[in-house]
Amino acid sequence: MEFTNKVVVITGSGQGIGRAYAIEFAKAGAAVVVADLNEEQANKVAAEVNAAGGKAVAIKVDVADKASAQAMIDKAIESFGRVDVLINNAAIFSTLKMKPFEEIDGDEWDRVMAVNARGVFFSAQAAAKPMRAQKSGKIINISSSVVVTGRANYAHYVASKGAVVALTRALATELGEVGINVNAISPHGIVTEVPRDTIKPEQWDAILSAQALKRKGDVSDMIGATMFLASDAAKYITGQTLNVDAGLRFN
């Protein structure tokens, strides 16, 4: 898909799926803002994009902090003059330890909700102002299949991703009148270079058995869906959640 003269801001893009977004959108002609809490990783990804002939800037961002989220969007405007797409990809997941919900303390609950839900909210708030001025824009929020499956021992993560789906519908309703599309993507079983110690080989067997497509997903499986929602091909789609889950069967 073609994104020449478009500016794409991607949170959590220092590694994993976010890094893949940055690389692929740049290949498609977009200028990308690589935003991550890990500044070193963000700089590496931006350098990788620029070395390949693309256009990228890096910024350290804590999406749970309103001022930091605003600075991210300000950086995009300063560097490239506009914001066309915001991908709310940053989330806490791979570092979480599975535990019964009775063992999740208030601090851990708040930390997960702050990044995974409040971070989406603050980033969207910051991006909405320039998008309103343009009377156009795409906000894509990354949720998860756990919203429907209710995966055990991740109660805070499940709740945070449920909030993302609900927020997507609310923002789509508010922003649609000015031409801004807001959608969510619900992935399942996507493997990246980020370690996932919580998933054992026998658990992968159970995961694959619940899918129509009997393979693990990889970052390339997320690229097409995200680029579609970011493109003009999806200009009449808003408030929706696109499942990228290999035909997951909910038992």
Instruction: Give the catalytic positions in this structure.
Output: 157
Handedness of CA 26, 28, 30, 35 (dihedral sign): negative
Quote the strand ranges of the chain, DSSP E. 7-11, 31-36, 55-60, 85-88, 137-142, 180-187, 190-191, 217-218, 241-244
Residues 6+ apart with CB under 8 A from 146: 154, 157, 158, 161
Read off the tokens for 153.
Answer: 């021992």
CA distance 105 to 2: 46
